[in-house]
Chains A and B, each alone.
Chain A
Amino acid sequence: MLISYLWLKELVDFDLSPEELAHTLTGLGLETVIRDDRRGWHKDIVIGLVKEVILHPNADKLRICTVDAGGVDKKIVCGAPNVAAGQFVPVALPGTVLPDGLKIEPRKVRGEFSEGMICSEAELKLSEDHDGIMVLEGKLKPGEKLADRFEVCDVILETDLTPNRGDCLNMIGIAREVSAAVGGSLKKPTAPITESNEDIGKSASVEITAPEFCPRYTARMIKGVKVGPSPFWMRRRLMALGVRPINNIVDITNYVLMETGHPLHAFDHSEIRGSKIIVRKAGDGERFTTLDGKERTLNPGNLVIADGERAVALAGVMGGLNSEVKATTRDVLLEAAFFAPSCIRRTAKALGISSESSYRFERGTDVEGLLYASDRATSLLQTLGGGEVSKGRVDVYPNPVSKKVATLRFARLNSILGITVGKEIATGILQRLELDVKRQDENSVTVEVPHFRFDLEREIDLIEEVARHNGYDKLITSIPQVAAGDVEEDVCFNIRRVLRRHLRAIGMYEGVRYTFISLPDLDKIRLSGDHPLRAVVPIDNPLSSEWTHMRPTLIPGLVSSAREAVDMRFFEIGKVFAVRGKGEAPSERWKLGGMISEIVKTGIWSGRAGKRDFYHLKGVVQSVLDFLGIGGVCALSPSDHPFYYPKRQSDIIINGRAVGHFGQIHPETLESYSVPQEIFVFEIDLDGLAAVKPAPKIYSQLSRFPSVKRDIALVVDTSVTCESLIYSIRSHGAPYAREVEAFDIYRGERLGADKKSLAFFMEFRDDTRTLTDEEADRIFEKIVVGVKEDCGAQLRA
C-alpha cells in the first residue's frame, strides 16, 4: 500500500516528518519505508501568467510567450500547441533544476532569446502527459511557488501490510492508526449531495439471489455526467498511489477506493438491460468477458452481477467489458456492495485475477462504511462530473450484520504482557481505534468492534491492540524457567549430529541439494521399470520440470554434483521419500550419502598422489561404521544396484538387513550426468542404523610377551578373494596369528594372466610366553600348507 504524505496530512492532524511517520507506523506493526522522496523536486518552480503569445519568426511550431512570473515579464520560447494568453502555467526560470536533473539556463532558440521554460506535467514528473504544457486551475497569483499551491513536493511511503490488516489498505485506515498513535483528530472528508426529485427506483432495482455471497448491495444513480479527464489534484493523488488515471468517472471510483478502502463499481446505466441488477451465482460454464478483454469460464462458486439478461460484472473482482464506462456514457449506476471474502478469494484465485478490488474484498471490507464510500463517490461525481443524483439509494441488506463484542480482562492483559498497563491507558487505546466501550468495571472492559476490523474478535486480539499501541519496547525482558521436561531426544538426530563431525574430520565436505528430482533422473541412474526406488512421490504443482518429484535416494544429487574434473569429497544427510499404500502418508527416511572423486588434489607437498579407487570409498564407509561402533556387526555382501559397476559394489548388512550400499558409479550414469571422471558413492539408511545397538566396547588385555612379525606373499588365481586368504591364514595360524593385514597386490606377466600375488603382514603371539623363531617358522609352514589346500595359493618365489 502506497501512502501520499501530503494527502495523509489532509486526513489527520499530525506533526511527524515523513521519516518519523515511517518509524511510527513501523512501530505499530505497519512496516513502512519511504519509497519516493519528492521534497526537492519542484521547490523552485513558480506560477506564471501567460500575457501574450506570438509566433516565432524562424520556426512554424514555436511560439514566443510573454510570461508574468511575479512582477517581471519573461520572454519564453514554447513549442506546445496548447499555450494561450490568460493561462496560469508552471515556469522553470533560469537556475531551476528539473526532477530529471536538467538545469534551466537562458539560451537562444532559433535566434530568439528564451528566459526559462514553461513545463508539461511530464517534465515535472507529475504524469506521463507530454501533449502540451500543464495549465493550472484555481485562483492563482503570478510568482507564487507551485509547491505552495499544489501537492507536488510529496513523499511517497510504502507500507507492507500483513494480511490481517485489510482495514489499512486505504488512506483513512492509515490515518486512523496515526490518529490513535499521536492523538491528532481524524478528518474524514464530507460527502455533500444534492438529490433531484427523481426517485432512484425509477432507474434501478436490485435483487440478491445469493445472500451468502453478497450480504449487502447498494446502488446510487447519477444522471447526465460528462465523461472527461479528472482534475490535476485527483490525477496526481491517484498516480502517487500507483493508479493510472482513465477518466473522471473511473478515477472517482478508484479515488474513493484508495481513500476509504471500499471498492465501488460504476456501470454505464444504458447497458443495464431492464434497469435491473440481479446478484446471482454464475451458471456452470457461463462465459463472461471481463473489462480486460479476456473471456472467462465461470461456475456456481463465482458470483456475478447481472442485468435482466446477462452478467455485467464479476462481483468484487472485475467489471464486464459490456457495461464499462465509456466516453459516451451519460448515466452512471454506482455499485457499493459487500461480498463474502472467501467467495471473492476463491474466484480471484481460480481465475488468476488479483485486482485492487478483489484484494480488498478478500481481506474484508466495511459492510456499513460502504454507505459513506458510496456517498463520497456520488458527491464527487456530482461536483466533478456535473451529474444529477437521483433521490435515495437502493439498499438490499436482508440480514444486517451485528457488530462483534469482545471483553478484555485487565488481569489477563497484564499476565500475557508481563507488565502492568493502566486500565485507562488500555481503554483509551481501544477507543482511539474506534472500538465502542459498552461496559466497563474494575476488572474488565467490553467493547463493540467496528465492521472494518475483521481481525478483532477475541480477548487476545484486544490484548494485541493494546500491546501494539502501548509499544513493544515497554515490555520488560525477563528470563523464564525453561525446563526440558521429559522430552527424550531422537537417537537418529544424535547420530546425524555426531556423524557430520566425523565426516568433516576425515576430510569430507558437507553438501546440500534440493529434495526434488525428475523422472529422467531415475533413468539416468539406470533403474529398471519395476525398481522399488521408482515409487516416487510426485509434486502436484512443481516449479520446474527438473523438480517434479521428491527424491527416493540421494544418489542423483550426489552424482550430479560431480560436474568438474577436480578433487571432490562430499557427504549429504537428508531425507528420501517413497509412496506407500493408498491414502497413507509417504515414507520419509533419513539417509547419509557420500561421494568421492577419482581425482585427488595431488602434489608431493600434500603427501597425496595417484587416484582414488573403490577402496578409498570402502575406507570411508568403514570409518563411518566403526565410528558408530557397528563396524564389527556389519557384513558386506555382493549387490546388484544398477547405478554401480556390476562388480564394484557391495551391500552393507546388519542383522540380515541391508542398511546401505556403496560402489563405483556406472559409466553410463557418469555419461548421462556428464561427469568427467570416475566417482565413488555410498548411501546408508540412518533410521536403520539408529535401530542397531552398537556392540559394547570391552578392553582386551595387553600382552606382556613380544610378537614375531612375518610377511607372506601368495600367488593365487585372480578369482580368489583377499578375504578368503585372510580367513585361511587366520584359521591355520590359530591361535597365534593375531594380526593379518594385506599390504600389496601385484599382477604381472611373470605370474600368468589369471594370477595375482597378494602380500600379507602377519603377527604371531602367545599370551603366556615368548615364541621362539623355530615355533614361528612352524606356524608359517602350517599356514603355507593350509592356504594351498584352501585357496590353491603358492608361496611367491
Chain B
Amino acid sequence: MGDISISGELDRLKSESLAQIASAGSMDDVEKLRVFLLGRKGEITSRLKTLSSLSQEERPAAGAALNAVKNSIEEALSERASSMKKKEVTERLEREEFDVTLPGRPVGDGGFHPIGAVMDELIGIFQELGFSVVEGPEIETDEYNFQMLNFPDDHPARDMQDTFYVQNGARLLRTHTSPVQIHAMLKRKPPLSVIAPGRVYRCDSDITHSPVFHQLEGFHIAKDVNFGHLKGILELFIHRLYGKNTKLRFRPSFFPFTEPSAEVDVSCQICSGKGCRVCKGSGWLEILGAGMIDPNVLKAVGYDSEKWTGFAFGMGIERVAMLKYGIDDIRLLYENDIKFISQF
C-alpha cells in the first residue's frame, strides 16, 4: 500500500511541477521553480534524501521512480528556460528604437574617373573576346600616324584630324591610336587580334571636342577574315556593353586606312531608339568607326593582302563615357573637380 501511496504522491508532484513550469512567465520564474524543486532544499532533492530511510528492497524502485520524475522536471525546466529566453530577447529587440537611416560610416570611398571606368570596361570585354593589349608612343612620326595608314601627303583626308606638331614638325602628337596597328603589325606576324587603348591629340577645343582625348582601337588579321566577321565582333562587343537588345547599324563611310569602311550606330540607350535629346531624335548614336583594313596598310607593313585580310575598329572613350553618364561638356572630364569626380 505504501508503494501505491508513494507513487501516487510522486505522480501528483510531477504533474503539479510540470504545470507550474509550463505557466512560468519569465526567466526569473523558471529560476525560482528550479530552486524550489531541484535546489538543495528543493522538493525533489529532499525526497531523494529520504531514499536512504527506505529498505533495501524498496530503494531501487523508489529511486528509479524519483529520478524519472527529476529528469522530466529538469527537461521541462530547461525547455521552458530556453523558450523564455528567446521570448525575452525577442521582446527586448522589438522594444528598442533604432534609426537605420543614419549614414553608413565611410570606408575607402574612392572612385574611378569616367574615362578610366569606361576604358577599363571596354578593355575587359575585348580581352574576354581574345584580344591582347598593345600600346604605342603618344609622340609619333608622320610616317606612322599618316603615311603608312594610307593618308597621302596633301590629301584632304588629313583635314579630318587637326594635328599638333612638335620638334619643328619632325614629329607629331598622334591624332589617333591607329599607328599602334602599324607598330604591332611590324613587330609581330599574323594572325593577330589586338586592342590598343590610349591618349590621342587633336588641335580642337569646344564643348564636344577636347585637344586631349582617348581612343580604343582594335584589329584582327587572319586568313579569310571578312566584313561579316567585323559585324559579328562588334555586335558581341556592343551586346556586352549595352545589353542584348541593343541594335547596331552599319553605314558606309570613309577612313583612309580601311576599305570598305563603316560608321557604326547603336540604338539610343536613353530612349531605346524612340528618339530623344541625346540622340537628336534619330534613335541612333554614332559610337564606332570600322572597316576592312586597307590593302595599302597591309602592304606598308609587308603583309601579303591576298593572303591576309583583317578588320579594324576604333572608338572615342569620352564619347562612350559622356553618353553613359549623360555628361554634356567634355571639359568637365579634365578639371579634376572633386565634386564632379566623386559622382562616379
Q: B261: CB under 8 A from chain A?
A: yes
Instruction: Flag if A27 contacts B251 (CB, 8 Å).
Output: yes
- What separation, in Å, do the CA atoms of A540 and B135 have in the docked complex? 25
Instruction: Flag if B222 contacts A543 (CB, 8 Å).
Output: no
Scan residues 561-592 of chain A and give those whose CB is less than 8 A from a CB of chain B. 561, 564, 566-570, 572, 574-575, 577, 583, 585-586, 588
Q: Which of A81-89, A265-273, A504-512, A633-641 contacts B (4 or more CB under 8 A)?
A: A504-512
Instruction: Flag if A464 contacts B227 (CB, 8 Å).
Output: no
Scan residues 494-538 of chain A and give those whose CB is less than 8 A from a CB of chain B. 497, 500, 503-516, 537-538
- The binding surface of chain A is classed by DSSP as loop
Which B residues lie within 8 Å of A577 (CB)? 138-139
Instruction: Flag if B116 contacts A510 (CB, 8 Å).
Output: yes
Q: B224: CB under 8 A from chain A?
A: yes
Q: B188: CB under 8 A from chain A?
A: yes
Which A residues lie within 8 Å of B171 (CB)? 585-586
Q: Nearest CB to that of A557 among chain B residues?
A: B336
Instruction: Flag if B133 contacts A575 (CB, 8 Å).
Output: no
CB distance from B229 to the nearest CB of A (A): 4
Q: Which of A389-397, A465-473, A624-632, A711-719 contacts B (4 or more CB under 8 A)?
A: A465-473
Assess A463 versus B260: contact at CB under 8 Å? Given A541-B165, A605-B103: yes
Q: B57: CB under 8 A from chain A?
A: no
Assess A487 versus B110: contact at CB under 8 Å? Given A163-B159, A418-B226: no
Q: B342: CB under 8 A from chain A?
A: yes
Instruction: Flag if A540 contacts B131 (CB, 8 Å).
Output: no
Assess A29 versus B254: contact at CB under 8 Å? Given A478-B228, A507-B108, A508-B110: yes
Q: A58: CB under 8 A from chain B?
A: no
B107-124 interface bits toward A, Cβ cutoff 8 Å, 1 = contact, 0 = none? 111111101100010010
Scan residues 111-167 of chain B and give those whose CB is less than 8 A from a CB of chain A. 111-113, 115-116, 120, 123, 129-135, 137-139, 141, 153-157, 159-160, 164-167
Instruction: Flag if A514 contacts B260 (CB, 8 Å).
Output: no
Instruction: Flag if A345 contacts B154 (CB, 8 Å).
Output: yes
Instruction: Flag if B105 contacts A515 (CB, 8 Å).
Output: no
Q: B309: CB under 8 A from chain A?
A: yes
Scan residues 367-387 of chain A and give those whose CB is less than 8 A from a CB of chain B. none
Instruction: Flag if A475 contacts B227 (CB, 8 Å).
Output: yes
Which listed residue (B105, B112, B226, B250) contacts A504, Cβ 8 A? B112
Scan residues 84-121 of chain B and give those whose CB is less than 8 A from a CB of chain A. 102-103, 105-113, 115-116, 120
Q: B168: CB under 8 A from chain A?
A: yes
Scan residues 243-280 of chain B and give those whose CB is less than 8 A from a CB of chain A. 249-254, 259-263
Which listed residue (B105, B155, B165, B336) contacts A570, Cβ 8 A? B336
CB distance from B283 to the nearest CB of A (A): 12
Assess A497 versus B120: contact at CB under 8 Å? Given A163-B156, A512-B333, A567-B338: yes
Instruction: Flag if A485 contacts B232 (CB, 8 Å).
Output: no
Which A residues lie within 8 Å of B231 (CB)? 475-478
CB distance from A593 to the nearest CB of B (A): 11
- What separation, in Å, do the CA atoms of A605 and B153 have in the docked complex? 64
Q: Nearest CB to that of A577 among chain B residues?
A: B139
- What separation, in Å, do the CA atoms of A598 and B224 have in the docked complex? 60
Instruction: Flag if A540 contacts B229 (CB, 8 Å).
Output: no
Instruction: Flag if B212 contacts A415 (CB, 8 Å).
Output: no
Q: A539: CB under 8 A from chain B?
A: yes
Scan residues 216-236 of chain B and give those whose CB is less than 8 A from a CB of chain A. 220, 222, 224-229, 231-233, 235-236
Q: B44: CB under 8 A from chain A?
A: no
Instruction: Flag if A514 contacts B193 (CB, 8 Å).
Output: no
Which listed residue (A28, A503, A511, A586) contacts B166, Cβ 8 A? A586
Q: A145: CB under 8 A from chain B?
A: no
Instruction: Flag if B251 contacts A163 (CB, 8 Å).
Output: no
CB distance from A291 to the nearest CB of B (A): 24
Q: B205: CB under 8 A from chain A?
A: yes
Instruction: Flag if A475 contacts B250 (CB, 8 Å).
Output: yes
CB distance from A686 to the nearest CB of B (A): 12
Scan residues 33-60 of chain A and give those whose CB is less than 8 A from a CB of chain B. none
Which A residues lie within 8 Å of B22 (CB)? none
Q: B173: CB under 8 A from chain A?
A: yes
Instruction: Flag if B154 contacts A418 (CB, 8 Å).
Output: no
Instruction: Flag if B260 contacts A540 (CB, 8 Å).
Output: no
Q: A657: CB under 8 A from chain B?
A: no
Instruction: Flag if A512 contacts B115 (CB, 8 Å).
Output: yes
Q: B242: CB under 8 A from chain A?
A: no
Instruction: Flag if B220 contacts A480 (CB, 8 Å).
Output: yes
Instruction: Flag if B203 contacts A472 (CB, 8 Å).
Output: no
Which B residues lie within 8 Å of A418 (CB)? 226-229
CB distance from B134 to the nearest CB of A (A): 7
B274-315 interface bits toward A, Cβ cutoff 8 Å, 1 = contact, 0 = none? 000000000000000000101100000000000001000000
Assess A416 versus B309: contact at CB under 8 Å? Given A514-B334, A561-B336: yes
Assess A512 versus B254: contact at CB under 8 Å? Given A478-B232, A605-B105: no
Which listed residue (A478, A482, A586) contacts B193, Cβ 8 A? A482
- What separation, in Å, do the CA atoms of A674 and B42 have in the docked complex? 85
Name the residue among A460, A481, A512 with the largest chain B CB count within 10 angstroms: A512
Q: Nearest CB to that of A162 among chain B residues?
A: B254
**Interface residue count on the A side (C-beta < 8 Å):** 92
Which A residues lie within 8 Å of B193 (CB)? 482-485, 487
Assess A416 versus B254: contact at CB under 8 Å? Given A482-B233, A570-B336, A586-B139: no
Which listed residue (B133, B199, B341) contacts A574, Cβ 8 A? B199
- What separation, in Å, do the CA atoms of A586 and B113 have in the docked complex? 28
- What separation, in Å, do the CA atoms of A195 and B139 have in the docked complex? 61
Q: A745: CB under 8 A from chain B?
A: no
Instruction: Flag if A539 contacts B164 (CB, 8 Å).
Output: yes
Assess A29 versus B229: contact at CB under 8 Å? Given A540-B166, A561-B336: no
- What separation, in Å, do the CA atoms of A363 and B211 have in the docked complex? 26
CB distance from A594 to the nearest CB of B (A): 11
Q: A346: CB under 8 A from chain B?
A: yes
Q: A13: CB under 8 A from chain B?
A: no
Q: Nearest CB to that of B109 among chain A residues?
A: A507
Instruction: Flag if B111 contacts A515 (CB, 8 Å).
Output: no
Q: A788: CB under 8 A from chain B?
A: no
Scan residues 334-354 of chain A and give those whose CB is less than 8 A from a CB of chain B. 341-342, 345-346
Which B residues lie within 8 Å of A478 (CB)? 226, 228-229, 231-232
Which B residues lie within 8 Å of A588 (CB)? 137-139
Assess A541 versus B203: contact at CB under 8 Å? Given A464-B252, A475-B227: yes
- What separation, in Å, do the CA atoms of A481 and B204 have in the docked complex? 39
Q: A461: CB under 8 A from chain B?
A: yes
- What separation, in Å, do the CA atoms of A31 and B262 have in the docked complex? 11
Which B residues lie within 8 Å of A130 (CB)? none
Q: B192: CB under 8 A from chain A?
A: yes
Which listed residue (A490, A500, A572) contacts B120, Cβ 8 A? A500
Name 4 extra pairs, CB < 8 A, besides A342-B154, A512-B113: A27-B252, A482-B130, A561-B336, A564-B338
Chain B residues in the interface with A (C-beta under 8 A): 102-103, 105-113, 115-116, 120, 123, 129-135, 137-139, 141, 153-157, 159-160, 164-171, 173, 184, 188, 191-194, 199, 201, 203-205, 211-212, 220, 222, 224-229, 231-233, 235-236, 249-254, 259-263, 292, 294-295, 309, 333-336, 338, 341-342
Q: Can you show 8 pairs from A to B with CB atoms below 8 A apart? A: A29-B252, A472-B262, A503-B110, A507-B107, A507-B110, A508-B110, A547-B211, A569-B110
